[in-house]
């Protein structure tokens, strides 16, 4: 009985040992499969994955108003090679010739290195060998004729992967105006109109080959993608080029940090040019780093004086001939000093002359005396005209204006006077241009427009008409006075350096000290206005930030010449009715052309100039600028005046003119 028991125990022991051995073998096999064979098996498993994957649609193109392509999507190709599918004799016979072609196409390897590389990959049974990327269609056509590859995918092993690449072309309008649209961020037209441009993706069955690469399969149920719509902008590449070039030259000349220039049609608000350039601190080259015209909100400086003059005129607080004493060029408000750029100031002048010469003390004093007791009246005037709102331009990224109110916690006694000459308030360049454009447009403020229409293969999907966002921002009388003042600023004010009778300009200079609470010599130079002054067709703003202080920083010197260069170029593109003028007429016109500068010089010296030879409009213009009343007898040109020329202004309030 004991021997049987021993036999059973021995048998159990052997069975247990066998089980343990088998268990150890299984564990060993699992260990080997998991750690040794695992990576290769997982790779093979991944390569057998088949999914229905999305196919991106072709993004719509963006065009200029003159028909040039600004942005488009082009196909680019990445090519791979499956050396295993190629017959042995074909591979051995032609691999050398293929390697020579690949060395020319992708010179990261020479011909010998390419041949060794392809042979190694074939011996490793690698069926997805990278050859080249970012090929255009012409490159791909040539590749299809290469040795071995010319036999196609099944016998030559050629695998082609098509991708879409967004490119911008035709002009220097780069990222920030045209914009971009990615998963992480979007800007400009690409971002604003992404829904129209992106199209509808398709889908098809695809097999995972290696890494994150996928190979398309035959799929009867595949859905083809639908192309995106095309965008036709209002940008005129001829005007854009001159704006870009003129701005770039001035930025370089004055070593400025950045700047922008925008040109807009007065009647429609169509933006025909938008240039934005910033300096790269690494190499001091200029490129389009940001859309400063739409995004950058800054204190405007003296260009704000148009809004101050508008409020004074429209509320009846002052008229163009209202006199103001510039107090020797320094006006103190609550212990803070407002200074004129001209030492000693301008003496006693009227509102019109204060605007023309951009007298800080003159404008501030008139606004302070008129609205100090009720600053809400001044601020509400700006809000009622929608100056606190964005323009709604069709470009993503517009910043809202900032106009403080008396109810704000940080409002103080100096808030109102500081606002009146462009400090404490903030606008983007495009917002300030929109206001000036309204004056050129006889008071109607139109929305800036940068897209004309959206098309789908010749069919209009959307069309955009000019839109008035505020009709009559001021009365026709005030509008006319402001137009005269803007023209006067160029004819005899701060911007006489860009005055030209051939291309008449109306506008306002702006010179703003940046970060003035810290001191320093950082300034913003600007000029905004329109042309031709007598029949406005285009408005324009030029803003240049942080020019080299020692080279120049005033708005008329730094920004004004860019405006004039643009105006000259655009003006010569305007259609004009040809007129026949004799040489004698030209000579007489030049000889008889009045020079009003000496008349205003006399007024500034506080004596009455001779008005003989001026027509009524010119004579009244001169006298009104000094706040003098006029009595007129007859028609034609001035032949006599009373008081006589040379009389001190303090001794006359009314001037009588005889014309014939």
Q: Is the dihedral of CA 619, 621, 622, 626 positive or negative?
A: positive
| pLDDT score for 15 | 72
Share of the chain above pLDDT 70, in %: 87
Q: d(Cα 210, Cα 158) in Å, to the nearest integer?
A: 16
DSSP string of 564-604, one letter each residue = HHHHHHHHTTS--------HHHHHHHHHH---THHHHHHHH
Architecture of domain 584-659: 2-Layer Sandwich (3.30)
Q: d(Cα 327, Cα 588) in Å, to the nearest integer?
A: 43
| DSSP, res 304 | G
Summary mean pLDDT of the chain? 86
Burial class, 509, CB count within 10 angstroms (exposed 0-12 / middle 13-18 / buried 19+): buried
pLDDT of 105 higher than 80: yes
Residue range 362-377: average pLDDT? Answer: 96
Residue range 549-576: average pLDDT? Answer: 90
| pLDDT score for 9 | 66
Query: From the centroid of its chain, how far is CA 133?
Result: 33
Helix ranges (DSSP H) in 80-166: 88-105, 111-123, 137-143, 152-155
Asked whether the beta carbons of 531 and 567 are under 8 A apart, the reply is yes
pLDDT digits (tens, 9 = 90+) for 496-509: 999 998 899 999 99
Q: Is the dihedral of CA 107, 113, 118, 120 positive or negative?
A: negative
pLDDT digits (tens, 9 = 90+) for 281-335: 888 888 878 889 999 999 999 999 999 999 999 999 999 999 999 989 999 999 8
| DSSP, res 60 | P
pLDDT of 108 higher than 50: yes
Least confident of 16-25, 509-518, 630-639: 16-25
Q: What is the third-level CATH fold of 238-571? A: Beta-lactamase (3.40.710)
Q: Does domain 54-231 have CATH number 3.90.1310.10?
A: yes
**pTM (2 decimals)?**
0.72
Length of the chain in terms of residues written: 660
pLDDT of 100 higher than 60: yes
pLDDT of 16 higher than 80: no
Between 296 and 573, whose confidence is greater?
296
Confidence tier at 181 by pLDDT (50, 70, 90): confident
- Residue 68: count other Cβ atoms within 10 Å of its Cβ: 15
Asked whether the beta carbons of 73 and 243 are under 8 A apart, the reply is no
| pLDDT score for 295 | 93
Between 486 and 650, whose confidence is greater?
486
pLDDT of 186 higher than 80: no
Between 62 and 96, whose confidence is greater?
96
Share of the chain above pLDDT 90, in %: 53
Confidence tier at 367 by pLDDT (50, 70, 90): very high
Confidence tier at 237 by pLDDT (50, 70, 90): confident
In the chain, domain spans:
12-48, 54-231, 238-571, 584-659
Q: Which of 377, 290, 348 is nearest to 605 (CA)?
A: 348
Asked whether the beta carbons of 356 and 492 are under 8 A apart, the reply is yes
Q: Which of 158, 155, 132, 161 is nearest to 146 (CA)?
A: 158
In 188-311, beta strands by DSSP E: 202-210, 213-216, 230-233, 258-265, 271-279, 286-287
Residue 397 structure tokens: 């990224």
Bridge partners of 6, per DSSP, are none
The two domains 54-231 and 238-571 share their CATH topology (first three levels equal): no
């Amino acid at each position: 009985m004991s021997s049987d028991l021993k036999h059973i125990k021995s048998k159990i022991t052997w069975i247990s040992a066998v089980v343990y051995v088998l268990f150890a073998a299984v564990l060993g096999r699992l260990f080997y499969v998991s750690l040794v064979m695992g990576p290769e098996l997982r790779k093979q498993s991944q390569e057998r994955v088949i999914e229905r994957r999305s196919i991106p649609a072709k993004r719509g193109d963006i065009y200029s108003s003159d028909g040039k392509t600004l942005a488009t999507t082009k196909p680019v190709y990445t090519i791979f090679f499956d050396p295993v599918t190629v017959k042995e004799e074909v591979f051995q016979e032609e691999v050398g010739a293929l390697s020579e072609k690949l060395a020319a196409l992708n010179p990261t390897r020479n011909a010998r290195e390419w041949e060794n590389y392809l042979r190694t990959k074939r011996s490793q049974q690698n069926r997805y060998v990278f050859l080249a990327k970012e090929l255009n269609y012409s490159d791909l056509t040539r590749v299809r004729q290469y040795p071995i590859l010319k036999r196609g995918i099944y016998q030559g092993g050629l695998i082609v992967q098509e991708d879409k690449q967004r490119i911008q072309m035709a002009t220097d309008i780069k990222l920030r105006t045209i914009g971009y649209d990615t998963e992480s961020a979007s800007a400009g037209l690409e971002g604003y109109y992404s829904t129209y441009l992106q199209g509808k993706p398709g889908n098809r069955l695809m097999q995972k080959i290696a890494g994150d690469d996928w190979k398309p399969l035959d799929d009867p149920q595949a859905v083809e993608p639908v192309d995106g719509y095309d965008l036709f902008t209002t940008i005129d590449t001829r005007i854009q080029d001159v704006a870009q070039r003129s701005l770039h030259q001035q930025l370089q000349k004055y070593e400025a940090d950045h700047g922008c220039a925008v040109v807009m049609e007065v009647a429609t608000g169509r933006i025909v040019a938008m240039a934005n350039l910033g300096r790269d601190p690494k190499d001091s080259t200029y490129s389009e780093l940001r859309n400063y015209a739409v995004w950058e909100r800054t204190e405007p400086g003296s260009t704000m004086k148009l809004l101050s003059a508008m409020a004074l005129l429209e509320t009846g607080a002052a008229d163009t001939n209202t006199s103001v004493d510039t107090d020797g060029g320094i006006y103190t408000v609550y212990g803070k000093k407002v200074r004129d750029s001209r030492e000693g100031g301008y003496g006693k002048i009227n509102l019109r002359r204060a605007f023309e010469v951009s007298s800080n003390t003159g404008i501030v004093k008139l606004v302070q005396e008129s609205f100090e007791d009720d600053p809400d009246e001044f601020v509400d005037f700006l809000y009622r005209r929608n100056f606190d709102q964005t323009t709604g331009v069709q470009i993503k990224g517009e910043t809202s204006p900032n106009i403080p109110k008396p109810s704000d916690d940080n409002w103080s006694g100096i808030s109102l006077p500081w606002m009146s000459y462009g400090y404490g308030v903030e606008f983007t360049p495009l917002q300030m241009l929109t206001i000036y454009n309204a004056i050129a447009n006889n008071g109607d403020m139109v929305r800036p427009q940068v897209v004309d229409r959206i098309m789908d293969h010749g069919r209009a999907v959307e069309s955009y008409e000019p839109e008035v966002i505020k009709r009559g921002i001021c009365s026709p009388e005030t509008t006319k006075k402001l137009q005269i003042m803007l023209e006067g600023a160029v004819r005899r004010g701060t911007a006489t350096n860009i005055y030209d009778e051939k291309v008449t300009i109306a506008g306002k200079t702006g010179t703003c000290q940046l970060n003035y609470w810290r001191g320093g010599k950082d300034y913003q130079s600007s000029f905004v206005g329109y042309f031709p002054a007598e029949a406005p067709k285009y408005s324009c703003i030029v803003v240049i930030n942080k020019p080299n202080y020692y080279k120049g920083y005033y708005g008329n010197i730094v920004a004004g010449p860019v405006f004039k260069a643009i105006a000259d170029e655009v003006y010569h593109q305007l259609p004009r009715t040809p007129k026949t003028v004799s040489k004698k007429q030209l000579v007489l016109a030049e000889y008889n052309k009045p020079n009003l500068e000496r008349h205003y010089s006399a007024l500034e010296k506080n004596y009455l100039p001779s008005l003989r030879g001026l027509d009524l409009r010119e004579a009244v213009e001169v006298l009104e600028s000094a706040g003098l009343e006029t009595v007129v007898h007859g028609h034609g040109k001035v032949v006599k005046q009373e008081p006589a020329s040379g009389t001190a202004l303090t001794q006359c309030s009314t001037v009588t003119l005889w014309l014939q």
